[in-house]
Amino acid sequence: MATEAEREQNLEVLTNGAMGEVWEWVRSKVPEGLEIFDAHAHIGADVDTRTMTADGMRDRMDAAGVGRAIVFALNDPNARDDFSGPNDVVWSAYEEHPGRFVPFFRLNPHRNYETEFERCVERGFAGLKLHPVSQVFELDEPRVVKLLGMAAEAGLPVLIHTGFAMQRIVEPLIPTVEAHPELRLILGHSAMIELLEAIRAFEDHPNVLFETSVVRAKDLYVLFSMLDPARIAYGSDIPYGDFPSTLHATLAAAEAAGVPDSAFTGLLSENIRRWFP
């Protein structure tokens, strides 16, 4: 367990020394007075031993000028089959910091998810997170298609992991996106292994947003070169990412691709914030 002092030191390391100049550049690019909105962060514990507490997340947000963050469980070692335990941890974090966190719940599509879905929607969770690699499913399996339809009907945004270790993203998602044009979808990590296909398939679907965390610089550059920046939302993927380096990666790629500074308010906040008034 890190002490308070150690925690503060960790935060300072990210904005000082070798990172000092990087952080200064980031601050110069963030529009004056803008509260950054992080579209992808985790609270809880993971089978890979990563952890993040609600207070740790809030401290990082305070240090980086991040106003709100979408938060959801990690691939929790203590997840009951239905994720209800880890979902409760996220809900408690939200109750402690209601102005800072936008709580999403996680589900395992292989299990009987109806009860946990209903419980979380009634409780007031703001969205659903699905991870096809961790829970080992394809996006066009009938139980997954049904679940995405339930989210569409409930008006619930869905963030899907479309990053490392994914095999199929765009082709299995197209029928669902076309059947539910009202479904608000966040492509976590911007479907990076099928980036070009994803841009082509979803550029005319305004309710599909591309989220920037853990995307390689080259792919971020392609994303900002080819897609309207109004369709892109910044994410940190804390605890896998950190605010200074993910903000730097996103803003540097946007600038290199010629995205005007005037689009940064949307990119860092408004594009996703408008879904959670």
CB of 86 to Zn ion, least distance (A): 13
The residue (of 132 and 259) whose beta carbon lies closer to Zn ion is 132
**Number of Cβ within a 10 Å radius of residue 111:** 15
CB of 161 to Zn ion, least distance (A): 6
The residue (of 133 and 263) whose beta carbon lies closer to Zn ion is 133
In this chain, which residue has its C-beta nearest to Zn ion? 237
Written as six digits, the tokens of 71 are 């938060």
CB of 25 to Zn ion, least distance (A): 25
Residues 76, 52: contact at Cβ < 8 Å? no
CB of 237 to Zn ion, least distance (A): 4
- Please enumerate in sequence order all residues whose Cβ is within 8 A of that of 76, keeping only pairs 6 or more positions apart, or say none: 44, 45, 46, 47, 83, 85, 86
In what helix (H) or strand (E) does residue 26 lie, and over which residues does it extend?
A: helix 20-29
The residue (of 109 and 259) whose beta carbon lies closer to Zn ion is 109
Chain residues that interact with Zn ion, rule: CB under 5 A: 237
Written as six digits, the tokens of 107 are 């589900």
The residue (of 244 and 259) whose beta carbon lies closer to Zn ion is 244
DSSP state of 215: -
Closest CA to 64 of 274, 188, 238: 238
- C-alpha to C-alpha distances, 143 to 71, 182, 218, 259, 270, nearest whole angstrom: 24, 20, 35, 39, 33
Closest CA to 57 of 39, 76, 78, 42: 42
The residue (of 38 and 237) whose beta carbon lies closer to Zn ion is 237
The residue (of 43 and 148) whose beta carbon lies closer to Zn ion is 43
CB of 134 to Zn ion, least distance (A): 10
CB of 153 to Zn ion, least distance (A): 25
